[in-house]
Amino acid sequence: MFFVSGQVATSDREAIRGIVEKQKNAIIVASLGTFSTGINIRNLHNIIFASPSKSQIRVLQSIGRGLRKSDNNEPTTLYDIIDNLSYENLKNFATLHSEERHRIYERENFNNKTYRIAI
């Protein structure tokens, strides 16, 4: 398991990328800013959005990380986690941003399913 943020040196990011390319079941926890652009990992099969962003460019660039051709042709799955903390008719920012991401998925014709989990 690796953590990558803007504070991780470029040389360390490259070393992590090299390790992940060769291993199975490696996990990278990364900030949106470091993985939305500028990184190329062909062996990437799961992406989890856990940050309330609505930028179409960032969303599509982040998804694009998983659409690169992998060595084993396994598909990539995106998990988009949303905390719905809305109250009555007031929607929280995470919910509003998730609605925009969902519109992006629909416009791009991405296969997607929504699951509501009561906690």
Better pLDDT: 96 or 28: 96
* Rounded percentage of the chain residues whose pLDDT exceeds 90: 10
Domain contains 81: yes
pLDDT confidence of residue 104: 92
Total domains in the chain come to 1
Distance (Å, whole) CA 44 – CA 28: 10
CATH code, domain carrying 39: 3.40.50.300
pLDDT at 5 over 70: yes
Q: Which of 13, 10, 11, 63 is nearest to 36 (CA)?
A: 63
Domain contains 117: no
Segments forming the whole domain that contains residue 99:
2-107
Beta strands, E only, 1-119: 2-4, 28-30, 46-49, 77-80
pLDDT at 24 over 90: no
Domain contains 119: no
Q: 61-101: per-residue pLDDT in tens?
A: 777 766 666 666 777 788 888 888 888 989 988 889 889 99
**pTM for this model (two decimals):** 0.72
Q: How do beta strands 46-49 and 77-80 pair?
A: parallel
Domain contains 113: no
Least confident of 6-20, 72-86, 105-119: 72-86
Q: For residue 87, what are its two tokens?
A: 């109250």
Distance (Å, whole) CA 88 – CA 21: 46
pLDDT confidence of residue 107: 93
